[in-house]
Chain A
Amino acid sequence: MKFAFNVSLKNIRRRPFRSAALGALVMLLTICLFLGAEVILSLQGGLDAYRSRLGADVIVTPSSASAHGSVDDIFLQGITGNYYMSEKDIKKAADTDGVQSISRQFYLTSAKAGCCSARVQIIGFEPETDFSVLPWIKESYSGEIRNGDIVVGSEISVPSDRQIKFYGKKYNVAAILGKTGTGLDNAVFTGYDTIKEMARSAADIISRKEFSGVNIDNTASALLIRVKDGYDPQTVADDINIHITKVQAKASKSMISGLSDGLSGISGIIAVLVGAVWVFCFIIMLMVFALLSNERKKEFAVFRIIGASGKMLTAVMAGETAVLCLAGSAAGLLVSVPLCFPLSDMIHSSLSLPLLMPDGAVLAALCAGAAVIPLITGVLISLASAVRITKAETGLLLREGA
């Protein structure tokens, strides 16, 4: 069958326009399959990362936080602000029935002015009680976070001396976190003592009104609560909302489910679109192959006259298609693989959804899938027309071909 493959290659080379058109069709199909699947997986990955990061059952923020965006945004987008609750409210929340453990977070926005290297969100957490940030940090950094150390999100640029300045003081970058696809990639994390020190400097340097009446030593911007077994997070959140007027509590499940509903809606639409494109390409390929094999009846009849069996003719036809499909897929991947990074960014910024690109192995599998599916489609279709051609009597084919 070596001759069949050789003839396939020669046919492709001698018909550059026909070959290019078929290749372009396959390329389109590959691009759709690859980018579609990549976006769906990224959305899924973003949701998973977000879900595992959150960990809290109930989240409590001061009522004033809503001026900066909804509670969801804090965790989804890392949009925080300088808002603080009183020691009394924190204690009340901790004493609410059903609360098992509580971890405080302290938010601070760095200034754009010369006292700070960059304007970022700084998130302080309590290493002793934290169950939200630390596990995530552990994924990329197992060392200790000492006083004065900071850990930065993947999007923050770290100078070569590994020092970043906030409110006049330099802090040592201990680690860079893995990408989450959320606004948290632009945030800086540090221990509670360090952030309190930053907040004090901030109050000194720019004496922001946010700090008036705030006892920096005993405050928090958010409380992450885990509820005891048998308690419904929603009930606990309601309880807090009823009894403490200056805070808002939200069960995180409602945040996630709202988000995952939105995500699965979008994933569904993309899947349907990819499916539609596939069906569309399938039909076009079917028509093109039917037309082509009709056009080429005479050529196929000549193969038969020379002595090619039905099988050999099928091999020539399928070989031609396979080569074209592989070339088209390769071109499609060459276009879409570099394109998937800016596309992710675009979706991330325009839809404000957490997006986490699948890792290398998954991307490689996607590439293989996006190449193999059009290949199988094309070869199956060409086999179908080959069956039709080889069944026909050569003497009749010869007359029908132009």
Chain B
Amino acid sequence: MKLRAEGISRNFFRKGKNTNFFTAVEKTDFELEQGCLTEITGHSGSGKTTFSNMLCGLLTPDSGRVFLGDQSLYELDDRKRSYLRNRYIGIIPQGQTGLHGLTVLENVMLQAEMYGSTPDAREKAVSLLEAAGIGELCEVYSNELSGGELRRMVIARAMMNDPPILIADEPTGDLDSETTALILELFRKYADSGNAVLMVTHEKEALCHADRIFCMEKGILSSVPKK
């Protein structure tokens, strides 16, 4: 399954010199390739999160369309779009996004249980958490985790339904270099098994894992040749 954006852009209302709006992302065409680890870098405030949110189906673009396979995401109704997001797009948002009413294991399993439970969800969740290096924290409530542990939980959650598309917004921002390497290895393997992975990052070391690199500058996305 392919994720493709056609001329998507997004403005926000914000007071400027002679305007009342601000263009966070200029019209952009983009395609996520299967089996490929794609990275987007760029300065803070350049529009990376805005862009990746539009790709995930979380933020409606002002212009353009996003296609998941041959379905235009933002032309579907909420139910259908939510379902597709649950099944086909694993999302690791910027910031901390644990559900604190649930344990780590429940957080991860929720992704699978939302649209009917799968029999082996528990084993799957446990093995993902183990792969992320927090297997021993299954029964802990998510608000009791450190920032880095929480991030790893969210990564496990995003991979729970084996989505063909994984979109991560600064997934290694608050991790030590050892864990960062572990996570990058996870993403690399995930891409190698035929999935499309998009990663927004500042990390220099992350760049060497990537197959394709883009740079976001003031809302304009441009391809960066790989050294």
**Nearest Cβ in chain B — how far from A229, in angstroms?**
73
Residues in B whose Cβ lies below 8 Å from that of A3: 110, 113-114, 117
Tell me, yes or no, whether B124 is within 8 Å of chain A by CB. no
**In the complex, A65 Cα to B47 Cα: how many Å?**
95
**In the complex, A351 Cα to B53 Cα: how many Å?**
68
Can you pick out 21 interface pairs between chain A and chain B where the beta carbons lie within 8 Å of each other?
Answer: A3-B113, A7-B99, A10-B106, A14-B100, A15-B101, A299-B99, A302-B93, A302-B97, A304-B82, A305-B56, A305-B93, A306-B157, A307-B83, A307-B87, A310-B79, A312-B82, A393-B59, A394-B58, A396-B59, A398-B93, A398-B97
**In the complex, A298 Cα to B141 Cα: how many Å?**
17
Residues in A whose Cβ lies below 8 Å from that of B172: none
Tell me, yes or no, whether B4 is within 8 Å of chain A by CB. no
**Nearest Cβ in chain A — how far from B121, in angstroms?**
11
Residues in B whose Cβ lies below 8 Å from that of A302: 93, 97-99
Per-position contact with A for B94-111: 1 when CB-CB < 8 Å, else 0? 010111111000100011
Tell me, yes or no, whether B9 is within 8 Å of chain A by CB. no
Tell me, yes or no, whether A115 is within 8 Å of chain B by CB. no
Greatest chain B CB density within 10 A among A298, A299, A302, A393 is at A302
- Residues from 50 to 100 in B contacting A, C-beta threshold 8 Å: 50, 53-54, 56, 58-60, 78-79, 82-83, 85-87, 91, 93, 95, 97-100
Interface residues of A, dominant DSSP: helix
Greatest chain B CB density within 10 A among A11, A303, A309 is at A309
Q: Which of A's residues lie within 8 Å of B, judged by CB?
A: 3, 7, 10-11, 13-15, 298-299, 301-312, 390, 393-396, 398
Q: Are B114 and A304 in contact (CB under 8 A)?
A: no
**In the complex, A11 Cα to B106 Cα: how many Å?**
12
Residues in B whose Cβ lies below 8 Å from that of A308: 82, 86, 114
**In the complex, A396 Cα to B54 Cα: how many Å?**
11
Q: Which of A11, A307, A310, A395 contacts B86 (CB 8 A)?
A: A307
**In the complex, A310 Cα to B82 Cα: how many Å?**
8
With an 8 Å Cβ cutoff, the count of chain B residues facing the other chain is 32
**Nearest Cβ in chain A — how far from B176, in angstroms?**
25
- Contact A393 B97, CB 8 Å, known A3-B114, A7-B102, A305-B91: no
**In the complex, A305 Cα to B99 Cα: how many Å?**
11
Greatest chain B CB density within 10 A among A304, A307, A309 is at A307
> Closest 4 CB pairs between A and B?
A307-B86, A395-B59, A395-B53, A309-B82
- Residues from 97 to 137 in B contacting A, C-beta threshold 8 Å: 97-102, 106, 110-111, 113-115, 117
Q: Are B114 and A312 in contact (CB under 8 A)?
A: yes
Q: Which of B's residues lie within 8 Å of A, judged by CB?
A: 50, 53-54, 56, 58-60, 78-79, 82-83, 85-87, 91, 93, 95, 97-102, 106, 110-111, 113-115, 117, 141, 157
A394-B53, A398-B97 given; 17 more Cβ-contact pairs under 8 Å: A3-B113, A7-B99, A7-B110, A10-B106, A299-B99, A299-B101, A302-B99, A306-B86, A306-B157, A307-B82, A307-B85, A309-B83, A310-B79, A312-B114, A394-B58, A395-B50, A398-B93
Q: Which residue of B lies closest to A300 (CB)?
A: B99
**Nearest Cβ in chain A — how far from B219, in angstroms?**
15
Q: Which residue of A lies closest to B103 (CB)?
A: A10
Residues in B whose Cβ lies below 8 Å from that of A7: 99, 101-102, 110
